[in-house]
Amino acid sequence: MNKSVSISILLVAVVLGAMMVFQFRTTSSIDKGVSLSREQELSIERKQLERDILHLQEEVADLTAKLNEAGQGQTGTAGALESQLARLKLYAGLLPVAGPGVEVLLDNLPDRARPGGVSGFDNIRDDDLLKVINELRGVGAEAIAINGQRILSTTEIRLAGNHINVNLTKLSPPYRVSAVGNAGALKSGMEIKDGLVEYMDTLGISVKVQIKDSVQIPAYTGAVHFEYAKLAQRR
């Protein structure tokens, strides 16, 4: 047996041994886990799932944004409705208000101070109060109350025996008409020459107009109920 044959046998044996053992190690390391096809399958599935996750995350972000938007829209609408409601209640007289204005105090003059000394017949009538309110409204009163009874658009002022009914509540003199508005305008409107104050003076009614920095006007306490008036169809 010559030398080159020995060398080639040794070389081949070494390579073969290394190859087989290496292959054995590789195979056993793979067998520990899963088969090749199964692994490929799982990796494909995993990629698919990762794509799904990405997709779903995008969807979540999108929906969250939409939800936020919707919530904001809702709270915005609710807030707008609420402020609208509050404003309308304020205009309607269902909320107490305060502000600068005047207080008009109407009372019967004592008998001796009356023009002509006439006495006995009463005295401040409903149309006197109506005139006062009309005058105050005419010069821009925004809220009016008589002896704590808020004057609404539906309020009646009606003589009932010795009393005057306002909001179905009996009032008796002295009458204190509170009005919120431009105080100077209200006062001068009342006290203008040949105006209400002078006119009432001839009827034996004393009228005092006081400017106040803060006039408190209570809310209407009764219920507002329309039985016949319905919302007309708007076209």
Half-sphere exposure of 178 (CA within 13 A, CB side): 20
Query: Rounded to an integer, what distance in angstroms lies between the CA atom of residue 14 and that of residue 2?
Result: 19
Count other C-beta atoms under 10 Å from residue 197's C-beta.
22
**42 part of the interface to another protein, by CB under 8 A:** no
73: Cβ contacts below 8 Å, ≥ 6 apart: none
Nearer to another protein, 40 or 119 (CB): 40
Nearer to another protein, 1 or 231 (CB): 1
CB of 38 to another protein, least distance (A): 11
- b/e code 208-232 from CB counts within 10 Å (16+ = b): ebeeeeebebbbbeeeeeeeeeeee
Instruction: Report cis status (omega within 30 of 0) of the bond before 174.
Output: yes
CB 179 within 8 A of CB 215: yes
Query: Rounded to an integer, what distance in angstroms lies between the CA atom of residue 181 and that of residue 104?
Result: 13
CB of 41 to another protein, least distance (A): 13
**119 part of the interface to another protein, by CB under 8 A:** no
Q: Which stretch binds another protein (CB under 8 A): 19-27, 69-77, 98-106, 126-134?
A: 19-27
CB of 59 to another protein, least distance (A): 35
CA angle (191 as vertex; 190, 195 as ends), nearest 5: 75
CB of 32 to another protein, least distance (A): 11
**36 part of the interface to another protein, by CB under 8 A:** yes
Report the site for another protein in 188-227 (rule: CB under 8 A). Answer: none
Q: Which stretch binds another protein (CB under 8 A): 28-36, 57-65, 168-176, 193-201?
A: 28-36
**1 part of the interface to another protein, by CB under 8 A:** yes
Report the site for another protein in 45-64 (rule: CB under 8 A). Answer: none
**19 part of the interface to another protein, by CB under 8 A:** yes
Structure tokens at 168: 């179905």
Strand, coil or helix: what is 125?
coil
Nearer to another protein, 21 or 211 (CB): 21
Q: Which stretch binds another protein (CB under 8 A): 20-28, 98-106, 140-148, 182-190?
A: 20-28
Query: Rounded to an integer, what distance in angstroms lies between the CA atom of residue 47 and that of residue 123?
Result: 97
**22 part of the interface to another protein, by CB under 8 A:** yes
CB of 45 to another protein, least distance (A): 17
Contact residues: another protein, CB under 8 A: 1, 4-6, 8-27, 29-30, 36, 39
